[in-house]
Amino acid sequence: MRVGFILQVQVIVALGALTSVHSKLELTNIKCISHDPDFAGFEYCLLKSINRSYKYLSLKVKLFKVPITDIKVNLALAKKSSGYNPFLYNITVDACRFLKYPKSNPVIGYMYDFFRAHSNMNHTCPYDHDLLVDKVTTNFINKHVTEVLPFPEGEFRFRSHWIAYGILRATASVYATLS
């Protein structure tokens, strides 16, 4: 009887310790590739470190063949383990439909909130101007992802393929470590 009580107390203490642990996400790199330089090009794609605890990423895509009325985005999360392997998410979204009906899916609704807060991609198609993602910090990501979803520690890659009119036009990959 006493052993069962001690075990219950140990489990409660362990669960309490687990709920007080917070993950820390650190951005480590960003890579942007224009697969069709006649269609779009990156003016900048950077990860800027202000100090040891504050980094942000920004990118600007110059569009050369506007207006754009058909664009799909493939989003994939991979975890490093003998190379980067698929992990949890790999979805393709019709960007025009996504922007027209942002709350049709909870995950997609979250992405819409992200885009409204950090980019100029906040209206429906057609797109006839450059695309800008400005100063996305790890604080934003930690608040909305690691505090809500339990993620394992490790190195991750978030990759987005931008497909316009059925042709791959650009890829942006963000690398991060979760500890």
Q: Residue 165: its pLDDT value, please?
A: 96
- The model's pTM is 0.78
Q: Residue 45: its pLDDT value, please?
A: 94
Alpha carbon distances (Å) from 53 to 80, 101, 108, 112, 147: 23, 36, 29, 26, 18
Q: Give the domain 24-178 fold.
A: Ganglioside M2 Activator Protein; Chain: A, (2.70.220)
| DSSP structure string for 40-97 | EEEEEEEEEESSSS-EEEEEEEEESS--B--EEEEEEEEEESSSEEEEEEEEEEEHHH
Q: Residue 50: its pLDDT value, please?
A: 84
Q: Residue 134: its pLDDT value, please?
A: 86
Q: How far apart are CA 31 and CA 175, in angstroms?
A: 8
Q: Residue 19: its pLDDT value, please?
A: 45
- Nearest by Cα to 97 from 110, 106, 81, 108: 108
Q: Residue 72: its pLDDT value, please?
A: 93
What is the full per-residue pLDDT of the chain (179 aa) written as tens digits?
A: 454 545 544 544 444 444 444 567 888 999 999 999 999 999 999 999 888 778 888 999 999 999 999 999 998 989 998 888 888 778 898 888 877 777 766 656 666 666 667 777 767 788 888 888 888 887 766 766 666 666 778 899 999 999 999 999 999 999 988 88
Q: Residue 126: its pLDDT value, please?
A: 87
* Single-letter amino acid, residue 101: Y
